[in-house]
Amino acid sequence: MDIDVLGALAVRENGLSVTPTAPKPRQVLALLALHADQVVPVATLIEELWNDRPPRSARTTLQTYVLQLRDLIATALRRDPEGAEPRSAKDVLVTTPGGYLLNTAGGTSDVREFERLAGLGYRAMDAGDFPGAARQLGDALSLWSGSALADVQTGTQLEMETRRLEETRLCALDQRIEADLRLGRHRELLGELTVLVSRYRTHENLHGQFMLALHRSGRRSEALDVYQRLRAVLVRELGFEPSAGLRRLQRSILMSGPEPVLDPVAAGGGGERLSRVG
């Protein structure tokens, strides 16, 4: 079974889609796909479908959705190659004590591949291998074709999972840009960072990276404008000033002194730090 969730939901068995069109069964499949090869408790699926107001028939209705998914899987299993060990839909969408499990049988998952490549990129960054980090993190980010589960109606569980995935995406993006900056690719980053700071209006590290890229491209006044726009948004919408590290970067650009570089930060850009080097 091959699973894609980093964009539109796509689940295939033997190359044939087993993704339903009805919203509720799609939610069930999406949650099972995100936790492929792991048991998803019935209670978790019920919470996803109905939040804290499940109908009395919730378990029976959930079983109906599972049967609908198994019908799609059974159709795809007819394409199993001759001589292969016979499988039923129950072998793929498995009933376990207290829950269900989607058995991928060694198939692909874009989330798993993203996490593998991003992990390689982080290790390369830690080792000072900036070309390797930029390459691995770029490959990881290329697996995203849009927001996670962009075409799936989300309840509480899927909403939490999509937020988590977006944070991991932002962390990988932050580190890939950091690697590119260390490789002197500041001009190549300007277009991408222009879009990113418009999308993430309070993300300090992205703004700091944009300031550095502009400053190193000879656009000092624009770099300072980026700081002032960010400061205005932070004060107006969140009630606080930019971080000390970002203020140091602004002063350094004002004085055209030694340039700081951005340290790696934790996922989500919530702990932005700047330090001097050289």
Residue spans of the domains in the chain: they are 1-183, 187-278
pLDDT of the residue at 260: 53
Q: Tell me the C-alpha distance between 46 and 43, whole Å.
A: 5
How long a stretch of residues is the chain?
278
Contacts of 56 (CB under 8 A, 6+ apart): none
Q: What's the burial of 175, exposed, middle or buried (CB within 10 Å: 0-12/13-18/19+)?
A: buried
pLDDT < 70 regions, the chain = 257-278
Find tokens 């499940």 and name the residue.
54
pLDDT of the residue at 80: 85
pLDDT of the residue at 155: 96
Q: Tell me the C-alpha distance between 88 and 70, whole Å.
A: 9
Mind giving me the DSSP string for the chain? -EEE-SSS-EEEETTEE---SSHHHHHHHHHHHHTTTSEEEHHHHHHHHHTT---TTHHHHHHHHHHHHHHHHHHHHTTPPTTSPP--HHHHEEEETTEEEE--TT--BHHHHHHHHHHHHHHHHHTT-HHHHHHHHHHHHTT--SSTTTTS---HHHHHHHHHHHHHHHHHHHHHHHHHHHTT-HHHHHHHHHHHHHHSTT-HHHHHHHHHHHHHTT-HHHHHHHHHHHHHHIIIIIS-PPPHHHHHHHHHHHHT-SPEEEPP--GGGTT--EEE--
Q: Tell me the C-alpha distance between 242 and 236, whole Å.
A: 12
What is the CATH code for 1-183? 1.10.10.10
CATH superfamily of 187-278: Tetratricopeptide repeat domain (1.25.40.10)
